[in-house]
């Protein structure tokens, strides 16, 4: 009996369809996504981390039978089950009409180190994972034949806690895979299906979990098995944890093991999409299989491997790309290059930026660029930055001819649009609005929505954000054993009538999370103004080894305690998808101020647009393409911070950008927000809210993004048009 069948057997007859829905993350982006499960037990729903499988397994039979005799609830279950079945069985999809050559029998295989599908599957860290999760969801919605491969981390990314001094501490908790919406794949004998990969001169067994994401299947490799060495059981212990040895071991498992896992479940992909360089070893395994099948040499099969592999890079700085020393490569691949029929020198050359340098490390991005037929950045600016960064690999080509293009990231609109706004769009755009996300004419209808109508809904969402923030902060202060006055003061934290800014991302030096604090006195005048106050909600984690990032968090925590700001500044701990949804749906302004051009794309600000939020950002990443200004240089759909001073003096650039940010707040943002009529409706502000929606929504969604990948990358014949980078050396 499968896990789905086991759960179904526990449910009263009218509720049995809930088992199939619970084991497919499609439920997380449907209109009735939350309330159907939450109605069973709101308290248990929150306690189990909004995990529908855990909820249904823990619910008492008495409660389930109560729900099963409620005719209204039964009708909701039937309606959702019918909607689910129609979705899963739909044949006439966007992809079937536009790209019929991509077959279900030979799908696209999408490899990534992390996937942010839902907070109940905590195998993600941040932007890369959320982007990957949204990619799968839109591929499902568009009917693109696609499967995905990742790792099933035993403890995922860390849970963040801030101590009394505001210093970040990392906690790790086991993921209960047996009670999560994932299924362990078994063989005909009912035993876990496993694959073998040699890691650290030992054979490691990996079992395979399946997470269903609509029509897309996500396969997750897991080494936490009794038949593995204790060290190897922790190979899939943590996301981005450990040292270089752990990192290369995980990437061997993801790349080489991922190809073997697809073979084990009977999938022969037409294209392997490497989302970032972590999975680049998969190209070597594809080559090994082809050599074994044909008896040809590595260099004879190289072209056919390239034809089957495509690459997306997300990192705009060389230091952010994974590289491994030759000694480390020796310890992991001394057995492997012989199976490719090449020498050690030839093998190491595949990942070398400069051939002939004995100290040159092995680069995963270099390997991906050498072995993939196309490569792209994730915004127009990032494409330019990537071409400049990797021109060293193409010495005979001009920088603008380096074969790295771009496809700008987007977000999955059904996941990130608040149901309260989705209901409004359905009323004014039509029942079919979610199937027309790329239609700018449809989005232009937002101008027909009365200002009062969109404003009261936005205010409700802001109140929901404030309630969530108060709940999280009260819990955190109780856990830190702060004095009762500090705990009780949470109830006065934030005000729904006050201009609210959101800032949430990984805390690292280049993202400048504390740029607002640069001139403390000026910031105090802005946020502590009694007539036209401003408030801000921060959230985000610093990498466990990033001491500077942790110091930024600590400074922000100190700022939260300033007597004039205690009700105006908040930092939410343990940022996750659930908190992210509340933030992007409830803030008035989304702040993003990285050092340009270090933000490859960014997608959090795109999520804000679907909810009527307005971006205030440095012109970096996607905002270079999204921002529009009038003839006088004033923003139409948001604000641009500062200007590129074209200087390597970071102190100077920080001073320029902070001054520009303060000026925007004082002279444009705050006055516009508080320019309200007798009923408290800011009509000029709402005009910009509508511009934010209608200009950005049709462009920066993953339906458009996935459609671009299908037509520009996945489709047969798509190529960069260049010969493979010379990687062979004399043995």
pLDDT tens profile 224-280:
999 999 999 999 999 998 899 999 999 999 999 999 999 999 999 999 999 999 999
Give mean pLDDT, residues 488-499. 95
Using pLDDT thresholds of 50, 70 and 90, give the confidence band for residue 667: very high
What pLDDT is stored for residue 643 in this prediction? 74
| Strand, helix or coil for residue 70 | coil
Residues 120 and 73 in one domain: no
Residues 8 and 153 in one domain: no
Residues 385 and 467 in one domain: no
pLDDT in tens, 444-487: 999 999 999 999 999 999 999 999 999 999 999 999 999 999 99
Nearest residue to 51 via CA among 86, 75, 27: 27
Using pLDDT thresholds of 50, 70 and 90, give the confidence band for residue 731: very low
Between helix 451-479 and helix 683-696 the angle, nearest 10°, is: 90
Instruction: Look up residue 343 and give its two tokens.
Output: 């020498």
What pLDDT is stored for residue 647 in this prediction? 66
What pLDDT is stored for residue 355 in this prediction? 77
Residues 33 and 103 in one domain: no
What pLDDT is stored for residue 31 in this prediction? 76
Determine phi and psi for 454, rounding to 5 degrees: -75, -30
Residues 6+ apart with CB under 8 A from 99: 144, 710, 711, 714, 715
Residues 6+ apart with CB under 8 A from 172: 155, 158, 159, 238
Asked if 702 and 407 touch (Cβ cutoff 8 Å), the reply is no
Does the predicted TM-score (pTM) go above 0.85? yes
Check whether 720 has a pLDDT greater than 70: no
From residue 288, give the alpha-carbon distance in Å to each of 148, 298, 336, 340, 664: 21, 8, 9, 6, 57
Does the N-terminal peptide bond of residue 597 adopt cis geometry, omega within 30 degrees of 0?
yes
Q: Is there a domain that residue 718 lies in?
A: no
Domain end, chosen from 62, 89, 116, is at 89
Check whether 322 has a pLDDT greater than 50: yes
Residue spans of beta strands (DSSP E) within 621-710: 638-641
Q: Is there a domain that residue 432 lies in?
A: no
From residue 9, give the alpha-carbon distance in Å to each of 2, 56, 65, 537: 11, 11, 13, 45
Q: Is there a domain that residue 17 lies in?
A: yes
Determine phi and psi for 196, rounding to 5 degrees: -115, 140
Using pLDDT thresholds of 50, 70 and 90, give the confidence band for residue 722: low
What pLDDT is stored for residue 725 in this prediction? 65
Q: What whole-number distance in Å separates Cα of residue 559 and Cα of residue 599?
A: 26
Q: Is there a domain that residue 411 lies in?
A: no
Nearest residue to 499 via CA among 637, 693, 685: 685
pLDDT in tens, 87-145: 999 999 999 999 999 999 999 999 999 999 999 999 999 899 999 999 999 999 999 99
Q: Tokens 């005979």 map to which residue?
A: 396
Element (H, E) at 618: strand 614-618
pLDDT in tens, 31-90: 776 789 999 999 999 999 999 999 999 999 999 999 999 999 999 999 999 999 999 999
What pLDDT is stored for residue 716 in this prediction? 79
Least confident of 429-443, 539-553, 569-583, 632-646: 632-646
The whole domain housing 340 covers 94-406
Q: What angle is formed at CA 222 by the lines to CA 219 and CA 223, rounded to 5 degrees?
A: 150
Residues 206 and 326 in one domain: yes
Q: How many CB atoms within 10 Å of residue 293?
A: 9
What pLDDT is stored for residue 650 in this prediction? 86
What CATH code is carried by the domain that includes residue 139?
3.40.50.2000
CA atoms within 13 A on the CB side of 299: 12
Give mean pLDDT, residues 318-336. 90
What pLDDT is stored for residue 187 in this prediction? 93
pLDDT in tens, 393-421: 999 999 999 999 999 999 999 999 999 99
Determine phi and psi for 28, rounding to 5 degrees: -75, -15
Asked if 473 and 569 touch (Cβ cutoff 8 Å), the reply is no
What pLDDT is stored for residue 646 in this prediction? 63
Q: What whole-number distance in Å separates Cα of residue 326 and Cα of residue 356?
A: 13
Residues 301 and 284 in one domain: yes
Residues 43 and 108 in one domain: no
Nearest residue to 462 via CA among 432, 501, 433: 501
Nearest residue to 53 via CA among 134, 118, 133: 118
Q: Is there a domain that residue 421 lies in?
A: no
Check whether 662 has a pLDDT greater than 90: yes
Q: Is there a domain that residue 726 lies in?
A: no
Using pLDDT thresholds of 50, 70 and 90, give the confidence band for residue 717: confident
Residues 346 and 295 in one domain: yes
What pLDDT is stored for residue 715 in this prediction? 87
Residues 6+ apart with CB under 8 A from 566: 489, 493, 560
Residues 6+ apart with CB under 8 A from 174: 154, 155
Residues 84 and 100 in one domain: no
Least confident of 193-202, 643-652, 669-678: 643-652
Instruction: Look up residue 478 and give its two tokens.
Output: 């109780």
Burial of 592 (0-12, 13-18, 19+ CB in 10 A): buried
Q: What whole-number distance in Å separates Cα of residue 620 and Cα of residue 630?
A: 19
Q: Is there a domain that residue 706 lies in?
A: no
Domain end, chosen from 63, 89, 115, is at 89
Asked if 526 and 662 touch (Cβ cutoff 8 Å), the reply is yes
Q: Tokens 């499609």 map to which residue?
A: 26
What is the per-residue burial (b if ≥16 Cβ within 10 Å, else e) of 426-455?
Answer: eebbeeebbeebbeeebbeebeebebeebb
Strands 309-312 and 374-377: parallel
Q: What is the mean pLDDT of the chain?
A: 94
Element (H, E) at 403: none
Q: What whole-number distance in Å separates Cα of residue 624 and Cα of residue 644?
A: 12
Q: Is there a domain that residue 629 lies in?
A: yes
Q: What whole-number distance in Å separates Cα of residue 39 and Cα of residue 359?
A: 61
What pLDDT is stored for residue 711 in this prediction? 95
Q: What whole-number distance in Å separates Cα of residue 274 and Cα of residue 251?
A: 12
Asked if 516 and 661 touch (Cβ cutoff 8 Å), the reply is yes
Using pLDDT thresholds of 50, 70 and 90, give the confidence band for residue 186: very high
Q: What whole-number distance in Å separates Cα of residue 150 and Cα of residue 218?
A: 7
Residues 291 and 365 in one domain: yes
Number of domains, the chain = 3
Percent of the chain clearing pLDDT 70 (strictly above)? 97
Check whether 730 has a pLDDT greater than 50: no
Percent of the chain clearing pLDDT 90 (strictly above)? 89
Residues 281 and 162 in one domain: yes
Asked if 364 and 277 touch (Cβ cutoff 8 Å), the reply is yes
Residues 634 and 556 in one domain: yes
């Amino acid at each position: 009996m499968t896990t789905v069948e086991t759960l179904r057997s526990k449910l009263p007859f009218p509720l049995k369809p809930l088992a199939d829905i619970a084991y497919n993350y499609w439920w997380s982006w449907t209109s009735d996504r939350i309330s159907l499960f939450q109605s069973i037990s709101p308290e248990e729903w929150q306690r189990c981390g909004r995990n529908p499988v855990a909820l249904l397994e823990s619910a008492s039979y008495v409660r389930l039978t109560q729900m099963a005799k409620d005719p209204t609830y039964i009708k909701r279950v039937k309606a959702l089950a019918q909607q689910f079945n129609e979705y899963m069985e739909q044949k006439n999809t966007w992809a079937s009409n536009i790209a019929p050559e991509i077959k279900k029998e030979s799908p696209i295989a999408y490899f990534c180190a992390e996937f942010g599908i839902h907070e109940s599957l905590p195998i993600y860290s941040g932007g890369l994972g959320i982007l990957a999760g949204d990619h799968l969801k839109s591929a499902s919605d568009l009917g693109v034949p696609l499967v995905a491969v990742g790792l099933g981390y035993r403890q995922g990314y860390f849970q963040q806690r801030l101590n009394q001094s505001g210093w970040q501490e990392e906690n790790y908790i086991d993921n209960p895979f047996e009670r999560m919406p994932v299924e362990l794949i078994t063989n005909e004998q009912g035993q876990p299906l496993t694959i073998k990969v040699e890691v650290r001169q030992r054979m490691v067994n990996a079992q395979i979990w399946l997470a269903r994401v609509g029509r897309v299947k996500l396969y997750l490799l897991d080494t936490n098995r009794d038949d593995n060495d204790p060290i190897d059981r922790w190979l899939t212990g943590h996301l981005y944890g450990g040292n270089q040895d752990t990192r290369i071991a995980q990437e061997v498992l993801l790349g080489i093991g991922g190809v073997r896992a697809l073979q084990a479940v009977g999938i022969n992909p037409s294209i392997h999409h490497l989302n970032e360089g972590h999975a680049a070893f998969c190209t070597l395994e594809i080559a090994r299989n082809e050599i074994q099948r044909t008896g040809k040499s590595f260099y004879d099969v190289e072209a056919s491997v390239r034809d089957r592999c495509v690459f997306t890079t997300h990192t705009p700085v060389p230091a952010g790309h994974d590289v491994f020393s030759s000694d480390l490569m020796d310890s992991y691949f001394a057995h492997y290059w012989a199976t490719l029929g090449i020498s050690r020198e030839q093998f190491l050359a595949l990942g070398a930026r400069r051939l002939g340098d004995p100290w040159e490390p092995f680069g995963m991005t270099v390997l991906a660029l050498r072995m993939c037929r196309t490569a792209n950045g994730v915004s127009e600016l990032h494409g330019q930055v990537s071409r400049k960064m990797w021109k060293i690999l193409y010495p005979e080509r001009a920088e603008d001819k380096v074969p790295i293009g771009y496809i700008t990231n987007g977000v999955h609109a059904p996941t990130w649009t608040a149901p309260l706004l989705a209901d409004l769009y359905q009323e004014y755009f039509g029942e079919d609005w979610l199937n027309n996300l790329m239609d700018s004419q449809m989005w232009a209808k937002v101008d027909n929505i009365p200002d009062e109508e969109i404003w009261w809904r936005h205010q409700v969402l802001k109140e929901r954000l404030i309630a969530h923030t108060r709940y999280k902060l009260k819990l955190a202060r109780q856990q830190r054993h702060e004095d009762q006055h500090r705990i009780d003061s949470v109830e006065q934290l934030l005000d729904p009538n006050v201009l609210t800014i959101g800032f949430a991302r990984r805390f690292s030096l280049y993202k400048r999370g504390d740029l607002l604090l640069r001139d403390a006195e000026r910031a105090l005048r802005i946020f502590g103004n009694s007539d036209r106050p401003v408030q801000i909600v921060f959230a985000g984690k610093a990498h466990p080894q990033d001491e500077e990032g942790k110091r930024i968090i600590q400074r922000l925590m100190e700022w939260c305690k300033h007597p004039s700001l205690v009700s105006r500044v908040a930092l939410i701990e343990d940022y996750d998808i659930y908190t992210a949804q509340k933030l992007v749906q409830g803030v008035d302004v989304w702040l993003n101020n990285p050092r340009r051009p270090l933000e490859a794309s960014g997608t959090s600000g795109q999520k804000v647009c679907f909810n009527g939020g307005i971006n205030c950002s440095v012109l970096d990443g996607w905002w270079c393409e999204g921002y529009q200004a009038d003839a006088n240089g004033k923003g139409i759909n948001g604000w641009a911070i500062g200007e590129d001073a074209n200087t390597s003096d970071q102190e100077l650039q920080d001073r320029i950008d902070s001054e520009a940010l303060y000026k925007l707040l004082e002279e444009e943002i705050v006055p516009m927000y508080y320019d309200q009529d007798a009923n408290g409706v800011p009509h000029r502000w709402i005009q910009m809210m509508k511009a934010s929606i209608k200009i950005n929504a049709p462009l920066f969604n993953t339906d458009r993004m996935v459609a671009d990948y299908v037509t520009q990358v996945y489709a047969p014949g798509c190529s960069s048009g260049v010969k493979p980078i010379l990687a062979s050396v004399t043995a």
